[in-house]
Homo-oligomer: A and B are copies of this chain.
């Protein structure tokens, strides 16, 4: 019964499907930015998941963090479930650099997204899959 919210579908490119979450690439090449969407219909907030799913989600956030850290060696990782605009529960996992466009502010709303071109998306996906395999 799970369907990805159209706002998330529009703003992202697919990367993987894990035990609980669909893993998406935010289509903004300014930041290495993953989005995890637990495939639980109707979930809006973290507390809408049951404790078993929450335990899986936090480990999937850690795995996404470890993959980004291995891929791009960021200065900081941001992990956030906001959902003020798109209500479907989703978690941002963002690699941040002290020289990125928004630092030290949160990334949302600071500068308009710059979409990946096809080659950029395919390169990210290839690198992601290599880092993912090393961190099962």
- Report A's interface with B, CB cutoff 8 A: 44-47, 51, 54-55, 57-59, 61-62, 65-66, 69, 76-85, 87, 96, 103-106, 108-109
Beta-carbon contact of A65 and B82 below 8 Å: no
Q: Is the CB of A46 within 8 A of B59?
A: no
Contact sample, A vs B, 27 pairs, CB 8 Å cutoff: A44-B76, A45-B79, A46-B58, A46-B61, A46-B62, A46-B79, A51-B62, A54-B58, A54-B59, A55-B55, A57-B58, A76-B83, A78-B81, A78-B84, A79-B80, A79-B81, A80-B80, A80-B82, A80-B106, A84-B103, A84-B105, A84-B106, A85-B104, A105-B109, A106-B106, A106-B108, A106-B109
| Chain A contact surface mostly | mixed
- Copies per assembly: 2
Q: How far is the CB of A109 from chain B (nearest CB, A)?
A: 6
Q: Would B57 and A45 count as touching, CB distance under 8 A?
A: no
